[in-house]
Amino acid sequence: MFGARSKDPGQQLAKFFGKNTAFTATAHVTMADSAGKQLHGMEFQYAMLDGKVRTEMDMTKVQGVKVPPEAMGQMKQMGVDRMVHIFLPDKKVAYMLYPSMKAYCEMNSSQLTGEKESKTPKIEETELGKETIDGHPCVKSKIVVTEEDGHNFEALVWKATDLKDFPIQTQMTNEDQTTTTKFTDINRSKPSASLFEPPSDFKRYASIQELMMSSMQQMMPPGGMPSRGGMPPRGADSE
């Protein structure tokens, strides 16, 4: 739901950072229809280090998506409410981590993003003018990204001149929906390399399916029958 082609917003945005190769920030993402009405919104933590990308999202805080409270509670109980995506382009490896479960799976990056590995895309940039975003003087440009297979997409990018051309805001339109990403809490210090590797105490699973099955099995009470509402039994509270 977060933009053209990419299954994860982090890897798509990585194409716009240029020389900004080491930082952390909070990304605020909103999706609107052709009339400008907001459809969805969320924020995630973003980190980059020399091409490596990490995004962390809390799925219970997505705005505009009607999810029953009991489903949200079940997500938390299963430990899938928080997700971390890590991309290591030099190794062509991606990790999907679930911190609440202390679990992760490893795969090649195309499995996680749904995209084939490709060479560095061609990027063409045309300056459109100057604007101010959240007090930062910016150069507004149109950027056209052309992938190795010929597929291309366009984006509007606002680069803050007082932050060494950091792309403080991006906007991409896909069919009849527009996705806007605005960055705040920008820290240009190098993030720790440990953020881009699974913690040593996390359990590794061979696939997302295996990880999810393990989570569901842990929710099952003795005897194998799920309790009411998918929640664990409350104990001997009935007579």
- Calculate mean pLDDT across residues 79-107: 88
Question: What does the pLDDT read at residue 39?
Answer: 79
Is residue 144 in some structural domain?
A: no
Whole-Å CA distances, 172 to 142, 175, 189, 207, 209: 10, 10, 28, 31, 32
Domain-located, residue 98: yes
pLDDT at 224: 54
CATH number at residue 36: 2.50.20
How far is C-alpha 168 from the geometric centre of its chain's CA atoms?
17
For the whole model, what pTM was predicted? Answer: 0.75
Whether residue 102 is contained in a domain is answered as: yes
Residue 152, pLDDT above cutoff 80: no
Determine the Cα–Cα distance for residues 143 and 235; give it in Å rounded to an integer.
59
Indicate whether 207 belongs to any domain.
yes
> 192 in helix, strand or coil?
coil
The pLDDT tens digits of the residues spanning 180-224 come to: 999 999 999 999 999 999 999 999 998 888 888 877 776 666 555
Q: Tell me what pLDDT residue 169 has.
A: 96
Residue 83 lies in a domain: yes
State residue 209's pLDDT score. 85
Would 3 be classed as within a structural domain? Answer: no
pLDDT confidence of residue 235: 44
- Report how many domains make up the chain: 1
Determine, yes or no, domain membership for 137.
Answer: no
Spatial neighbors of 83 by CB under 8 A, at least 6 apart, are: 56, 57, 59, 96, 97, 98
Nearest partner of 86 among 74, 78, 94, judged by Cα: 94
Question: Is residue 92 one of the residues assigned to a domain?
Answer: yes
Q: Domain range for residue 29?
A: 9-118+181-230
